[in-house]
């Protein structure tokens, strides 16, 4: 009861402060709001992105170019956040050895051969669907420059394909395809790829993540296309990490850190 | 009343909604007894912020921040590349047409910025979504540990258990 | 080469963490060398950066080379305000790495590499927060450091620690979300995320600076950071989270997390909103100083009531946060309060490190978790107790330790600003600290058990996880080296306080129109 009273007070205070500020806002959907068009006397960041970013990077998807190039430093640490979350979950949950719980794993192959037909439809469907999902995931990763998509979205889809395997058969079946050792490695390699693009630029004498200077390494004509290609590279790195950690979070949460059988 | 709504709520509808959703989340976060429900509240709370940011980037009648390639003066080879890829996604054709006319007027500024949504809030929220997922994952794993150690996810039961183990040694 | 240092500061721990993740699961012995190497690189980088800053002025680093117009890319900045803090963070991180050698190997040996990965990522987050010049980038790095600290607190702690970690997750996320919300309000009104850019927009557009949305942005940013630093009404999560987690985690988090949050608050006040706006237009300095007074007093009183050493130290942190927030908000003419707060960030990092290390060693070697367990500690480990006393004297504020000088500057600011309640709170808190620590010293020296008998057998099942089995006992130097180093730093900071304060003042005196407005 006390917590409800406290909650009501906190909500009332916070909510009224926020609503008090709303009347001062530019109207919803106003193209000339400061956020969209800047304030007089200073150059608008948003307008710069809309007008200039295609010239800078030759990437028509503005969200991708801002995400992976202009604010690439943010995005690298966003990937690090995912990586850190994965590591934190392993550190908290992972139980090595079986810690008292009996082994329950009987793989689907066993149940098939044992005549358990209840999962045949699900299992067969998943086997057909998973390659399609994975192909689509690769498309989303690779096509982030031109349509909605990119490393995070594609990585989540790719991670989901492993989770579907784990759901339809069991966790071991999915772990056979992406083992614990490998998903930790994959996650680290993803960020390494990202950071390597940045460090290469440093080695070539520019600032961290200045992709334009990678032109001779990527065999492109002009720094713009070098930026575009580098963005694809870092998106692939992001996808590695996201895939690995998404699956790893599921695997650890569903099996309480035992990595046995799961749900 | 109607006047108040017309003047103060209608132009800021999204902002009112985000505050209300956020307060629902905050209330659940503080008042709920079950730890998982608290986490649901936390997620609602974070999602409301995403709604707020995305609302900032909205422009009336604008489209998603993906440019149409035809509007630009691109080198011939690149142009071919884009044409091929456009063939794969005809769904964007509608607004592409609209921009096309805009674009032809001035080639340097190939697009009318009023017709393209502000990309920056989208980028920021992509980050915030990822952060939200990461936090939720860690919080769920901690609550799993709590369940393992206390055998309960109800806050009052956990607190009683802590009190009991502290007093009887 | 020098101009790449800002990137190096975050990249060295990042590559360290990735390397540990890649090779650490096969062989745990490589974790420590990698960690110490990457943090040493960072320490050297921080020192080089500080030299450069004090010789040539602030360093600006534009990631990806996106410099103009300001704000399209991410801006990293090292100036006199954060150069010293960077050295402090790197030093504490290196010292705690030594302390962590034995810590992790015992229980959960198979998780050693996860510990080091999280540890390095936490350092990375703190460095990133310190050099961030972009308001949103600051949020991302706050989340990096928070997520890793949730993991570090929850891993291998007792069950009360796990529950404390859960509360910490809730509070920490709400704090970060409030910060994000405040940044959103700023972006909505100014259209920029770069701190310098926002500052100049607010400075040149008085109608924006006086709008409701900017005030609300400031409130939410401030409250968000206060939650992170455990300022007075919002400190509930800190004592449990820091006192029930493994010692090496506590030794890293306690000296750094709250101080870096204080730095973020000062950075936001100085570099985003501007002191003139905060002190003159808003005019809340009295309110915040009173809150700080309550924080100091409540922290001190609650510390008196504790039986456990670590928990007592945690409540002292709450009081110390009150010192710094109050000092930063004193708004006296010469900004001596701000000077004291910035100096105290460094001093308090050293003091807290020393005390937490000593507390960790007591638990480790003698199983002494409570104050009464310290009986006869002077005989058992005289040197550790000596270092503990140095830390205690600094907490009380005895010259020539750094604690005395930070209090001296804070009190000078308080007198200049006419905030006598703050001066009184500082003196009372010093008195309480003296009582606290002399009680401990008395018990440790004379070994008389206090009259009120209590069974200190409770919590034994929780402590058990921390006490080293004899055969796996770590090398003694791994604990003593960082402890003595921190004690020496306390004294050195105190002896050379004039130089350190002069460096801090170079920043504050450069602030535009500081003297003109107060």
Is the pLDDT at C418 greater than 80, yes or no? yes
Q: What DSSP string runs through C382-439? A: HHHHHHHHHHHHHHHT-TTSHHHHHHHHHHHHHHHHT-HHHHHHHHHHHHHHHHHHHH
Instruction: Give, in order, the Cα–Cα distances in Å from C48 to each of B36, C75, C120.
Output: 48, 19, 21
Sign of the alpha-carbon torsion through B124, C42, C155, C179: negative
Return the number of other C-beta atoms located less than 10 Å from residue A104's C-beta. 12
> For chain A, how many residues are written?
263
Is the pLDDT at A132 greater than 60, yes or no? yes
Nearest CB neighbour to B139, from listed C166, C184, C459: C166
CB contact at 8 A, C298 and C279? no
In this complex, do B144 and A93 lie within 8 Å of one another by their Cβ atoms? yes
Averaged over A195-215, what is the pLDDT? 90
Give the orientation angle of helix A72-93 with respect to helix B119-150, to 10 degrees.
10
pLDDT at C175: 94
In the block, which residue shows the tokens 């058992």? Answer: C380
In the block, which residue shows the tokens 């990678």? Answer: A214
**Tokens linked to C402:** 């750094």
CB contact at 8 A, A226 and A218? yes
Chain A interface disruption, residue of C8, C13, C72, most A CBs within 10 A: C72
In a domain? residue C480:
yes
Averaged over C350-356, what is the pLDDT? 94
Return the number of other C-beta atoms located less than 10 Å from residue C517's C-beta. 13
Average pLDDT, chain C: 87
Averaged over C396-402, what is the pLDDT? 88
**Tokens linked to A190:** 């993803």
Give the orientation angle of helix C420-446 with respect to helix C382-396, to 10 degrees.
160
Averaged over A54-80, what is the pLDDT? 91
In a domain? residue C295:
yes
Contact status of C286 with chain B (Cβ, < 8 Å): no
pLDDT at B166: 76
A vs C, Cβ pairs < 8 A, gives 182
C381 three-state secondary structure: coil
pLDDT at C102: 59
Q: How many domains does chain C have?
A: 1
A7 three-state secondary structure: helix
In a domain? residue C305:
yes
Q: Nearest residue of A to residue B60 by CA position? A: A29
Confidence class for position A118, pLDDT limits 50, 70, 90: low
B vs C, Cβ pairs < 8 A, gives 80
Half-sphere exposure at residue C498, Cβ-oriented, CA atoms within 13 angstroms: 1
A130 three-state secondary structure: helix
In chain B, count H helices and then E strands: 7, 0
pLDDT at C159: 81
Burial of C374 (0-12, 13-18, 19+ CB in 10 A): buried
CA C343/CA C409 separation, integer angstroms: 9
Least confident segment among A41-50, B31-40, B144-153, C461-470: C461-470
Confidence class for position C460, pLDDT limits 50, 70, 90: very low
**C466 vs A196, more confident:** A196
**Alpha helix positions (H), C106-158:** 112-131, 135-154
Chain C interface disruption, residue of A24, A54, A80, most C CBs within 10 A: A80
In this complex, do C144 and A46 lie within 8 Å of one another by their Cβ atoms? no
State the pairing for strand pair C74-78/C59-63. antiparallel
Is the pLDDT at A44 greater than 60, yes or no? yes
Is the pLDDT at C206 greater than 90, yes or no? no
> Subunits that touch chain A (at least 3 Cβ pairs < 8 angstroms)?
B, C
In a domain? residue C362:
yes
pLDDT at A117: 64
Residue ranges of A 22-61 with Cβ closer than 8 A to chain C: 23-26, 33-46, 48-49
**A204 vs B98, more confident:** A204
Is the pLDDT at B56 greater than 80, yes or no? yes
Give the orientation angle of helix C31-56 with respect to helix C112-131, to 10 degrees.
10
Residue ranges of B 127-166 with Cβ closer than 8 A to chain A: 127, 130-131, 133-135, 137-138, 140-142, 144-145, 148
Confidence class for position A95, pLDDT limits 50, 70, 90: confident
CA A236/CA A239 separation, integer angstroms: 5
Is the pLDDT at B76 greater than 60, yes or no? no
Q: What is the 3-state secondary structure (H, E, C) of C271-336?
A: HHHCHHHHHHHHCCHHHHHHHHHHHHHHHHHHHHCCCEHHHHHHHHHHHHHHHHHHHHCCCCCCCH
C105 three-state secondary structure: helix
ipTM value for the complex: 0.91
Averaged over A39-60, what is the pLDDT? 86
Residues of C in contact with A185 (CB under 8 A): 21-22
pLDDT at B69: 64
Domain with C486 in it:
284-451+458-518
User: Shortest Cα distance from B88 to chain C (angstroms)?
Assistant: 31
CA B67/CA A65 separation, integer angstroms: 11
In this complex, do C459 and B56 lie within 8 Å of one another by their Cβ atoms? no
Domains, chain B, in order of start with CATH, read 1-60+118-169 (1.10.287.3510)
Is the pLDDT at B114 greater than 80, yes or no? yes
pLDDT at C179: 96
pLDDT at C157: 67
Averaged over C194-212, what is the pLDDT? 89
Averaged over C456-478, what is the pLDDT? 51
Residues of C in contact with B135 (CB under 8 A): 143, 147, 169, 173
Is the pLDDT at B74 greater than 90, yes or no? no
Q: pLDDT for B1-24, tens place per residue?
A: 788 888 777 888 889 999 999 999
Nearest partner of C391 among C498, C240, C494, judged by Cα: C494
Least confident segment among C348-362, C408-422, C469-483: C469-483
Residue ranges of C 186-225 with Cβ closer than 8 A to chain B: 187-188, 193
CB contact at 8 A, C49 and C9? yes
Instruction: Give, in order, the Cα–Cα distances in Å from A78 to each of A71, A75, B118, B134, C15.
Output: 11, 5, 21, 10, 16
């Amino acid at each position: 009861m006390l917590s409800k009273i406290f909650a009501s007070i906190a909500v009332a205070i916070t909510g009224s402060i926020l609503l008090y500020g709303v009347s001062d806002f530019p109207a919803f959907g106003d193209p000339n709001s400061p956020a969209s068009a800047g304030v007089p006397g200073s150059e608008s960041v948003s307008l710069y992105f809309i007008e200039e970013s295609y010239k800078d990077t030759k990437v028509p998807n503005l969200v991708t170019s801002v995400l992976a190039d202009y604010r690439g430093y943010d995005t690298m640490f966003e990937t690090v956040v995912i990586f850190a979350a994965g590591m934190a979950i392993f550190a908290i949950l992972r139980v090595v050895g079986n810690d008292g719980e009996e082994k329950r794993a009987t793989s689907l192959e066993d149940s098939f051969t044992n005549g358990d037909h209840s999962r045949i439809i699900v299992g067969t469907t998943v086997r057909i669907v998973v390659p399609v999902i994975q192909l689509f995931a690769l498309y989303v990763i690779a096509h982030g420059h031109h349509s909605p998509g990119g490393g995070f979205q594609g990585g989540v889809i790719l991670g989901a394909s492993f989770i579907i395997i784990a759901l339809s058969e069991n966790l071991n079946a999915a772990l056979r395809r992406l083992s614990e050792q490998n998903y930790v490695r994959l996650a680290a390699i993803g960020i390494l790829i990202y950071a390597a693009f940045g460090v290469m630029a440093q080695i070539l004498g520019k600032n961290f993540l200045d992709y334009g200077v990678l032109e001779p390494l990527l065999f492109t004509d002009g720094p713009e296309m070098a930026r575009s290609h580098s963005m694809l590279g870092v998106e692939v790195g992001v996808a590695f990490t996201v895939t690995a950690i998404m699956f790893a979070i599921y695997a650890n949460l569903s099996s309480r850190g035992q990595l046995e059988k799961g749900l | 009343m109607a006047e108040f709504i017309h003047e103060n709520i209608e132009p800021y509808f999204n902002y009112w909604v985000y505050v209300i959703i956020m307060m629902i989340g905050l209330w659940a976060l503080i008042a709920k007894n079950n730890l998982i429900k608290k986490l649901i509240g936390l997620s609602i709370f974070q999602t409301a912020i995403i709604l707020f940011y995305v609302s900032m980037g909205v422009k009336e009648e604008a489209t998603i921040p993906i440019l149409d390639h035809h509007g630009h003066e691109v080198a011939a080879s690149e142009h071919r590349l884009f044409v091929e890829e456009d063939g794969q996604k005809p769904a964007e054709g509608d607004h592409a047409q609209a921009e096309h006319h805009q674009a032809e007027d001035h080639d340097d500024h190939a697009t009318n910025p009023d017709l393209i949504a502000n990309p920056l809030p989208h980028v920021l929220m992509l980050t915030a979504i990822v952060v939200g997922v990461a936090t939720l994952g860690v919080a769920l794993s901690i609550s799993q540990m709590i369940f393992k150690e206390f055998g309960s996810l109800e806050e009052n039961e956990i607190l009683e258990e802590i009190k009991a183990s502290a007093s009887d040694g | 080469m020098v101009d790449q240092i800002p990137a190096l500061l975050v990249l060295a721990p990042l590559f360290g963490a990735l390397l540990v993740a890649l090779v650490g699961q096969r062989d745990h012995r490589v974790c420590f060398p990698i960690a110490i190497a990457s943090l040493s690189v960072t320490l050297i980088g921080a020192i080089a950066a500080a030299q450069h800053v004090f010789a040539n002025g602030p360093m600006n680093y534009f990631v990806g080379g996106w410099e103009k117009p300001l704000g399209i890319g991410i801006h990293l900045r090292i100036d006199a305000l954060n150069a010293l803090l960077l050295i402090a963070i790197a030093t504490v991180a290196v010292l705690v790495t030594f302390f962590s050698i034995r810590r992790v190997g015992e229980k959960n040996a198979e998780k050693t590499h996860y510990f080091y990965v999280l540890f390095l990522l936490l350092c990375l987050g703190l460095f990133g927060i310190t050099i961030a010049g972009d308001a949103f980038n600051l949020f991302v790095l706050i989340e990096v450091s928070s997520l890793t600290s949730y993991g570090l607190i929850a891993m291998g702690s007792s069950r009360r620690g796990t529950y404390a970690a859960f509360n910490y997750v809730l509070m920490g996320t709400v704090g970060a979300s409030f910060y994000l919300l405040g940044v959103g309000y700023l972006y909505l009104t100014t259209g920029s995320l770069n701190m310098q850019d926002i500052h100049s927009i607010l400075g040149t557009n008085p109608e924006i600076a006086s709008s409701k949305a900017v005030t609300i942005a400031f409130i939410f940013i401030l409250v968000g950071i206060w939650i992170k630093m455990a300022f007075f009404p919002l400190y509930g999560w800190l004592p449990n989270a820091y006192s029930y987690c493994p010692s090496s985690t506590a030794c890293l988090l306690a000296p750094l997390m709250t101080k870096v949050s204080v730095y973020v608050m000062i950075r936001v006040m100085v570099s985003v909103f501007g002191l003139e706006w905060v002190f003159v237009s808003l005019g809340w300095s009295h309110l915040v100083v009173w809150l700080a007074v309550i924080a100091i007093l409540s922290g001190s009183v609650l510390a008196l009531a504790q039986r456990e050493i670590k928990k007592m130290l945690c409540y002292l942190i709450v009081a110390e946060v009150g010192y710094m927030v109050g000092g930063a908000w004193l708004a006296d003419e010469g900004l001596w309060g701000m000077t004291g707060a910035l100096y105290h960030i460094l001093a308090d990092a050293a003091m807290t490190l020393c005390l937490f290390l000593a507390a960790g060693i007591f638990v480790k070697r003698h199983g002494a978790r409570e104050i009464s367990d310290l009986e006869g500690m002077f005989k058992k480990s005289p040197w550790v107790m000596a270092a503990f006393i140095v830390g205690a004297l600094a907490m009380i504020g005895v010259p020539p330790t750094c604690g005395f000088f930070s209090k001296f500057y804070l009190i000078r600011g308080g007198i200049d600003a006419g905030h006598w309640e703050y001066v009184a709170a500082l003196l009372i808190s010093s008195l309480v600290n003296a009582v606290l620590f002399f009680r401990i010293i008395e018990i440790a020296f004379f070994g008389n058990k206090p009259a009120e008998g209590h069974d200190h057998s409770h919590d034994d099942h929780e402590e058990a996880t921390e006490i080293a089995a004899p055969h796996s006992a770590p090398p003694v130097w791994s604990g003593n080296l960082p402890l003595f180093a921190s004690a020496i730093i306390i004294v050195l900071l105190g002896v050379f306080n004039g130089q350190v304060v002069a460096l801090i003042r170079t920043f504050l005196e450069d602030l535009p129109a500081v003297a003109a407005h107060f």
